[in-house]
Amino acid sequence: MKNVLYIGNNLKSKKSNISSIQTLGPLLESEGYTVFYASSKNNKILRLLDMLSRVLKLKNTIDVVLIDTYSTHNFYYALLVSQLCRVLKIAYIPILHGGNLPSRLKRNPKLSGLIFNYAKHNVAPSLYLKNEFEAFGFHDIIYVPNAIKIEAYPFNCNTIEYPKLLWVRSFSEIYNPTLAISILSELKKTEPEAKLCMVGPDADGSLAAIKQRVFDLNLNVEFTGKLTKQEWISRSKDFNIFINTTNVDNTPMSVIEAMALGMPVVSTNVGGLPFLISDKTDGLLVLPNDVEAFVNAILKIKTDTALRAQLVLNARQKVESFSWKTIKPQWDAVLS
């Protein structure tokens, strides 16, 4: 088995959800790979220095470097680490994340080329990013979906007496948590018992404004803060519809997990979501910021039991193809 250095934000912060490095790394370890990690440093400068120093220290030990690559500051981590790997002649594989990454290709085509043109492979967890990268002329893009341990997700197709909405994401402007509040406010006009639970950390300081809006509208919304994966999966049994309100996205794990759990999903149709969800087949897609469309979709799921059964069964069947047992051989091929 190979020795792998995994570069990413291996943070254990109250302001961040579980990251890809914290999911894929242990899965690879469970299959016999030796995985080293960088970095868990909270300070961004120290994190970058730790990433670079780990490459230098392990240059004679590791066979390949995996680099979680996003559109934000992490893009520059990926740039510097990848160029150090080139100097040291170490194979590296960027793993592409975030619905905004194509915008980075537009803004920084030369820097993007330095990262992606010299990689051993580029791994896209969604067909959306694969298509976007190929449109920009990057051709060594391998589609490997995010993997889940499907056996950890009990399938429960709950009946719906009234809508009990679950939202799971970081509180960040791009994920549009305010829309969830507006949806509940409008929904209560016809479904007065409707409720909403919002699970996730406060990533950008927007939670205070969300809570103030809830107070102003006299709504009862449960805010749990950050929960472990096991905790929110357990809490999901108390809810019957999953909503994803984001303005920018790739293929979020929370949506994949909701599909695995048997929760009908209503989501905006942005970024990679139409590549994950087939509208009216395994979920319902609506335009971003469209409160009325969200409410109509929620009511449709409540009243049309045949549609609801079709959505959840098809969704579960789809995400079963993301099980680690299925995805593992694809990673073996990438890392070989």
pLDDT, tens digit, 9 for 90 and up, residues 65-90: 999 999 988 899 999 999 999 999 99
CA distance linking residue 111 with residue 118, whole number of Å: 11
pLDDT at 17 over 80: no
Q: Given this model, what pLDDT does residue 72 score? A: 86
**Helix 74-88, helix 44-57: angle, nearest 10:** 20
Q: Given this model, what pLDDT does residue 212 score? A: 96
- What percent of the chain is modeled with pLDDT above 70? 98
Q: Residue 94: pLDDT band by 50, 70, 90 thresholds?
A: very high
Q: What integer is the mean pLDDT of 161-178?
A: 95
All domains of the chain, ordered by start, with CATH?
3-145+324-335 (3.40.50.2000), 150-320 (3.40.50.2000)
Q: Given this model, what pLDDT does residue 122 score? A: 97
Question: Rounded mean pLDDT of the chain?
Answer: 94
Q: Given this model, what pLDDT does residue 15 score? A: 59
Strands across the sheet containing 34-38: 34-38, 3-7, 64-69, 91-96, 122-124, 141-143
pLDDT (tens digit per residue) in 185-229: 999 999 999 999 999 999 888 899 999 999 999 999 999 999 988
Q: What integer is the mean pLDDT of 147-163?
A: 91
Strands across the sheet containing 284-286: 221-225, 195-199, 164-168, 241-244, 265-268, 284-286
What the block records as the tokens of 87 is 């100097």
- Residue 259 to residues 227, 301, 327: CA-CA distances in angstroms? 19, 14, 17
pLDDT at 308 over 80: yes
Q: Residue 318: pLDDT band by 50, 70, 90 thresholds?
A: very high
Q: Given this model, what pLDDT does residue 16 score? A: 61
CA distance linking residue 205 with residue 207, whole number of Å: 6
pLDDT (tens digit per residue) in 231-287: 999 999 999 999 999 999 989 999 999 999 999 999 999 999 999 999 999 999 999
- Kindly report the pTM of this predicted structure: 0.91
Q: Given this model, what pLDDT does residue 18 score? A: 74
